[in-house]
Amino acid sequence: MLDKPKNTRDDIEGLIYGSVATDISVPKLRMPESGLRSDIAHALVRDELFLDGNARQNLATFCQTYLNDDIHHLMDMSIDKNMIDKDEYPATAELENRCVHILADLWHSPEPTTTPGCSTTGSSEACMLGGLALKHKWRDRMRAAGKPTDKPNIVTGPVQVCWHKFARYFDVELREIPLERGRLGMTPEEALKRVDENTIGVMPTFGVTFTCQYEPVAEVAQALDRLARDQGLDIPIHVDGASGGFVAPFVEPDLIWDFRIPRVRSINASGHKYGLAPLGVGWVVWREKSDLPEDLIFYVNYLGGNMPTFALNFSRPGGQIISQYYLFLRLGREGYRRIQQNGYDTAQFIAAEMPKLGPFEILFDGDSRKGIPAVSWTIKAGSNPGYTLFDLSERLRMRGWQVAAYTMLPNIADLVVMRLLMRNGFSRDMADMLVEDIRRSISHLKKHPVTTPLTPAEGTTFTHHALPKEKLPT
């Protein structure tokens, strides 16, 4: 029988979970006096991340990031590239420029090769840049007419936080069209009720967060055309295409919502949503050069070059822009179409299955003419299954599924909705597994009635709590 080898110093030092550092609480609120071995520090951070959800099962998010080995390699190559250093990284700047022109062409710009635009950290920043351009253009018009410029406003449908931030940060009144039963978004009539000479722009959302539906850009534009003809109020449109801007051009190319409408002066989209790029990158494109006021562009003498910049951020990573261009080349129009169409097919399958599982009323069924690849439902009025959609969402988390359940905005805050967003990589087979887990969860909730149903205020976020006197490794 062979003797058991003795532990050497190297064997002991190679241990991670036999080390002193892993035998005490991880530092949380202050930096340790001395550092840890790289493998131990890596293991401790990695272990913390196990408590995150699995992104592939996250159907609550709009993020549709597409990751393969090529993208990982490109991100590794560019991890130290600062997007703002255009003199130092001219090739990266060129790829950003190409992406802008590709999007301008995709959205039917009259002059896609000269259309101004830029990348951003996401669609929220892109919205704010579009709004700022409209505010400055409105201010110039009002000053030229000798009118005051102290009360600008924007008109939106039901929005989440982006336009609220814009209004607060840049001193603009937000005129948000509230939800009503039977009307779950902006309509031409409701938009016209809220515009006046101080309206810097109307901002329809092409893929509303709460309903997943497209607001009627073409119809709103026609209403504003009539207003301009009858009353002389010429109000532009900025389309918030955070989600739909990377979907409709491929699946419903004949749907009119973009620069084919003359009143649309700017469009934003999120590259890390249905654009499939790594987090975080957004895009904003203007119809023509005159739509981007020159006084918003800064020319910065930085690292040896005089660089034009129009952004709320300065330093930004370049890998997301590089990966976006790679995806344009890798997938092409047909690749994007197939991925997005699969999302619609899966959404429509789930929409057909849900009424079979419980007293559910489908709010959006994944119709590609009306919204993004998603499905949403509510419990039928008058039904009391003994659980809430929050309870169902919580139960599904036990199987790893992250499914959004939320209350609608005023004036229908009593309406609770469950929503599934079809992400890239969510196959029909995974959809079958999800439907079965929904069935299993509902069966459990029926057999074990909920005595105190969950409410919107009761979340599931895990939070670390520091010990009173935390012991740190030395």
Please state, as a whole number, how many other Cβ atoms lie within 10 Å of the Cβ of residue 123. 27
Q: Return mean pLDDT, the chain.
A: 89
Q: Reply yes or no on whether the pLDDT at 228 is more than 80.
A: yes
Classify domain 72-327 at the CATH topology level.
Aspartate Aminotransferase; domain 2 (3.40.640)
Per-residue pLDDT band at 6 (split at 50, 70, 90)? low
Lowest mean pLDDT among 54-58, 154-158, 195-199: 54-58
- Examine the pLDDT at 316 and tell me if it is beyond 90: no
For residues 425-430, average pLDDT: 93
Residue 201 phi/psi, 5-degree rounding, is 180, 155
Total-model pTM = 0.89
pLDDT digits (tens, 9 = 90+) for 23-43: 888 888 888 888 888 998 999
Q: Which amino acid appears at position 326 of this protein?
A: Y
Res. 65: pLDDT tops 90: no
Q: Which CATH class is domain 333-443?
A: alpha beta
DSSP string for residues in 288-314: SGGGS-GGG-EEEEETTEEEEE--S-S
Q: DSSP string spanning 158-203?
A: S--SHHHHHHHHTT-EEEEPPPBTTB-S--HHHHHHH--TTEEEEE
- At 126-138, the pLDDT tens digits run 999 999 999 999 9
Cβ-based neighbour number of residue 437 at 10 Å: 18
* pLDDT at 269 exceeding the cut of 90: yes
Whether residue 94 contacts residue 86, with contact meaning beta carbons closer than 8 Å, is answered with: no
Residue 197 is given by DSSP the state T
The answer to whether the bond into 280 is cis (omega within 30° of 0) is yes
Q: Tell me if 282 sits within 8 A of 123, measured CB to CB.
A: yes
The domain limits of the chain are 72-327, 333-443
Helix (H, G, I), strand (E, B) or coil at 93: helix
pLDDT at residue 305 in the model: 60
Residue 142 has pLDDT above 70, yes or no: yes
Res 63: pLDDT: 83
Q: Are the folds of 72-327 and 333-443 the same?
A: no
Phi, psi of 313 (to 5 degrees): -100, 165
One-letter amino acid identity for 137? K
Q: Specify the pLDDT at position 468.
A: 40
pLDDT of 363 over the 80 cut: yes
Q: What is the pLDDT of residue 291?
A: 95
pLDDT exceeds cutoff 60 at 1: no
Phi, psi at residue 102, to the nearest 5°?
Answer: -65, -45
pLDDT for position 296: 86
Counting residues of the chain whose pLDDT is more than 90, the rounded percentage is 67
At residue 467 the predicted structure's pLDDT band, cuts being 50, 70 and 90, is: very low
Q: How many CA atoms lie within 13 A of 183 on its CB side?
A: 15
